[in-house]
Amino acid sequence: MLFTADHDDIRRSLQKFIANEINPRVDEWEKADIFPAHELFKKMGSLGFLGLNKPTVFGGSGLDYSYALMMAEELGAITCGGVPMAIGVQTDMATPALARFGSDEVRREFLSPSISGDYVACIGVSEPGAGSDVASIKTNARSDGDDYVINGGKMWITNGTQADWICLLANTGEGPVHRNKSLICVPMKSKGVTVARKLDKMGMRSSDTAQIFFDNVRVPKRNRIGEEGKGFTYQMIQFQEERLWGAAACLKAHEYIIEQTIEYTRNRQAFGKSILDNQVVHFKLAEMQTEVELLRALIYRAAEQLVAGEDVTRLATMAKLKAGRLGRELTDACLQYWGGMGFTNETPVSRAYRDSRLTSIGGGADEVMLMVLCKMMGTLPGSKGSA
């Protein structure tokens, strides 16, 4: 069994925290287009939520990945997408490689304060010309004695305007594109780091997203995570947790929209009966609930394998793909049943419609997920086993 009584204890604490400290302020943060990351993360860090599966020596709880997955699922109960995504960047996107491959020195400097909530982290992979195509990044970290000198830029960086440090993927050599990159911890206060702008997004409004430039930014090589040239490999491993997190965080969010739609359509009348009484509506909602449970089963299976130390690239990719597709179908169908009210910003379904659209883009677009799966199946042109 994936979850135990210990999981349930933490789950209840997190549910209480979300109900008391986050959801009452979500509307305020959505209107402001930002939430106070340092304030919220410090509260979460003090309660141990930011390092459930991180090493105890650096302030974590030392638990297995199932606890991190449980947290991701519970964060879906937050009534917006932006805040849970920002938390997920801190716990499951910017720090897994650091926790696993970083030196003790670099973990003390960057991981420990991220677990305590004293630091806000962001992950710098995507660029204007290289989103899902990670191998094509151009940001360069040139060797200069004991330092790297970094030049380039990153785009769509969640937490970017508030972050204290960035887990940066940069080219550190001239070799093959899959073996010439390194992950480097870069303090955002470093000379030459510029937050060029805060992006104005369709959804995820309460999460700040930035474009960042690096102009001759000098950082010590000791800030590198693991071995030089292994950055692409580390990031692909890190993507497993990111994609599972993204899928798991959709579960309760999807269920909430189904519940809200049932309540609204039950009370809305048209042609002498409730909207919910139409078979096309209650049948569709039953189908959507079934799809959510199927997605949950896939995610749990992947998590069990990850806890067992297995490579879950295939299942995590499937979960990410399915979560994005389901989010688009579910929110579109539910918004339709809300009618004109669904087209207003004051309803939860319109927010979910905008926020959920990112799942099919961020962390690897649907098309990239399909390419990964086809390559593993041997059906991608040019891959082993294809025609």
| Angle subtended at Cα 360 by Cα 297 and Cα 93, rounded to the nearest 5 degrees | 75
In this structure, what DSSP letter does residue 54 have? Answer: S
Report which residue type is found at 262. Answer: I
Q: Which of 74, 127, 242, 255 is catalytic?
A: 242
Q: Which two tokens stand for residue 181?
A: 């990159």
Question: Given the structure tokens 């974590």, which residue do they identify?
Answer: 60
Q: Which contiguous run of DSSP H or E holds residue 297?
A: helix 279-307
Q: How far apart are CA 289 and CA 287, in angstroms?
A: 5
In sequence order, what are the beta bridge partners of 212?
A: 154, 195
Burial class (CB in 10 A: 0-12, 13-18, 19+), 314: middle
Q: Which residues, 6+ apart, have CB-to-CB distance to 234 below 8 Å?
A: 97, 100, 101, 183, 225, 226
Q: Identify which of 289, 304, 302, 306 has the alpha carbon closest to the alpha carbon of residue 251.
A: 289
Q: How far apart are CA 339 and CA 274, in angstroms?
A: 13
Q: Which residues, 6+ apart, have CB-to-CB distance to 181 below 8 Å?
A: 137, 169, 170, 171, 172, 173, 229, 231, 232, 235
Q: How many CB atoms lie within 10 A of CB 86?
A: 27
Q: How far apart are CA 49 and CA 53, in angstroms?
A: 9
Catalytic annotation on 304? Answer: no
Residues known to be catalytic: 242
